A and B are shown apart, each in its own frame.
Chain A
Amino acid sequence: MDYDLNTNPFDLHFSGKLPKREPSDSGSEDVMRKWFVKDETCMLQEELTRVNSENKKLTETLARVSEKYSELQNLFKELQSRENVNFCNERKRKQDRDEFVSSPIGISCGGTVEKSTVSTAYFHAEKSDTSLTVKDGYQWRKYGQKITRDNPSPRAYFRCSFSPSCLVKKKVQRSAEDPSFVVATYEGTHNHPGPNASVSRTVKLDLVQGGLEPVEEKKGRGTIQDVLVQQMASSLTKDPKFTAALAAAISGRFIEQSRT
């Protein structure tokens, strides 16, 4: 849009254009004066017409520019509000994604009470299973997935199905050390009924309070001691000496009982 703004609201040299009054000493002074007045009036009239026409043109141009400016302003406002909405959505998504990433496991962010309750659970999972779903008794909604540098397996992010009333979140990723396990890291505490009894065997470690020391057992799940006992039993049954000793002890017990 180009407008010529070099308007000439009032010709400053206009007075110079008016006919000069020559001094007259003749008898026809009145006629001459009338002629001058008439001429001056004509020129004034012409100038007035010119300025009026310029005035009209300026008014029209101003109206057009105002209209264009309003259109542009509306467009600007629309784009700005759209950008704000996009920015808010993106920030929310990023916040959701980074909540776990930005706060290393076991270190409290100190932001909220919920963040202080970070816990980790290990679930046995087939290597072929890439779903990253673990049976921990709660219903979850997946909201993101990413691959981290330290672990080639994707990391999935879940939100409790009771969200937003329940703010618990978890991330699930196959263990980098032992791929037969998936590691679920929980953040927050559920504010609704607990998990069902029929859940898989897990070991929960409180990483906030006691580092790697096992401290808590979830309802219906084995403790770390249970796992150790199982492992010991498994290794002992493979040991023929132990089996023989056990058999001897049992048979000795039977003999003792039959005597009494």
Chain B
Amino acid sequence: PPTNALVEELNRVSAENKKLSEMLTLMYNNYNILKKQLV
């Protein structure tokens, strides 16, 4: 049924979203560390 397919897609996109959030947090932290070193 289309509902199951939607849930699956939603889970996939959500997992991707979570991964992106983690990457962004990591990158942002590194950026701030580097910025502090420069200042």
Contact = CB atoms under 8 A, between A and B. Distances in A.
Interface of A: 1, 3, 5, 7, 9-10, 37, 40-41, 44-45, 47-48, 51-52, 54-55, 58-59, 61-62, 65-66, 68-69, 72-73, 75-76, 79
Contact of B14 (A9, A59, A62): A9
Contact of B10 (A48, A66, A73): A48
Contact of A48 (B13, B15, B25): B13
Contacts of A59: 20
Contacts of B25: 5
A65 B37 contact: no
For the residues of B in contact with A, the DSSP-based class is helix
Contact of A41 (B3, B28, B30, B34): B3
A10 B18 contact: yes
Interface in B11-30: 11, 13-18, 20-21, 23-25, 27-28, 30
Contacts of B16: 55
A108 B30 CA distance: 51
Nearest to A59: B20
A58 B18 CA distance: 10
Nearest to B27: A65
A5 B27 CA distance: 11
What 7 pairs across the A-B complex have the smallest Cβ distances? Answer: A10-B14, A9-B17, A9-B18, A58-B20, A44-B6, A7-B21, A69-B31
A51 B18 CA distance: 10
Contacts of B21: 5, 7, 9, 58
A8 to B, nearest CB: 8
A44 B10 contact: yes
Contact of B34 (A40, A48, A66, A76): A76
B13 A65 contact: no
A41 B2 contact: yes
A59 B16 CA distance: 10
Contact of A65 (B6, B18, B24): B24
A5 B22 CA distance: 9
Nearest to A58: B20
Given A44-B10, A48-B6, A62 B17 contact: no
Contact of A10 (B17, B24, B38): B17
Contact of A51 (B3, B17, B23, B31): B17
Contacts of A72: 31, 34-35, 38
Contacts of A40: 3
A160 to B, nearest CB: 43
Contacts of B9: 48
